[in-house]
């Protein structure tokens, strides 16, 4: 009986960690776990030099959204790690609509961001990520 209760408590704690690890809110001033320093808002991760990303989404807007909502799991350079996918070439695998669906609805342990991000923010991120090829 005690072992069963302990197992249930451990599972609940693991689920709580998984669901709070991603989507770190809108505060970009907290240090990134990988480097101990937060990247500057508007500074694009490696391989994302200048220009538009589609529609009205600029790299600075997308980078700011990424830093606030995705970086905690997918790393500052989009490399992921552990159970978190590498996003550096995600546009070669998925188009913007597919990426928007994944961001909105979640997938494979990733939480859904519909309701946490606006449709415009999801579109900005998906267009930006779709350009990663």
The answer to whether the beta carbons of residues 88 and 47 sit under 8 Å apart is yes
DSSP conformation class of 37: S
Task: Point out the annotated binding site for heme c.
Answer: 70, 73-74, 110
Rounded CA gap, 67 and 86, in Å?
A: 15
Helix axes 96-105, 119-130, angle to 10 degrees: 130
Task: Point out the annotated binding site.
Answer: 70, 73-74, 110
The answer to whether the beta carbons of residues 62 and 125 sit under 8 Å apart is yes
């Amino acid at each position: 009986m005690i072992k069963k209760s302990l197992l249930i408590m451990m599972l609940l704690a693991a689920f709580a960690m998984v669901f709070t690890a991603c989507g770190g809110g809108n505060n970009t001033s907290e240090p990134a776990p990988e480097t101990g320093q937060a990247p500057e808002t508007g500074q694009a991760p490696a391989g994302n030099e200048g220009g538009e990303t589609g529609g009205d989404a600029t790299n600075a807007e997308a980078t700011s959204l990424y830093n606030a909502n995705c970086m905690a799991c997918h790393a500052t350079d989009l490399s992921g790690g552990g159970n978190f996918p590498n996003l550096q070439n995600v546009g070669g695998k998925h188009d913007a609509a597919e990426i928007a669906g994944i961001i909105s609805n979640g997938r494979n342990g990733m939480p859904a961001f519909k309701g946490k991000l606006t449709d415009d923010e999801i579109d900005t991120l998906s267009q930006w990520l779709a350009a990663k090829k």
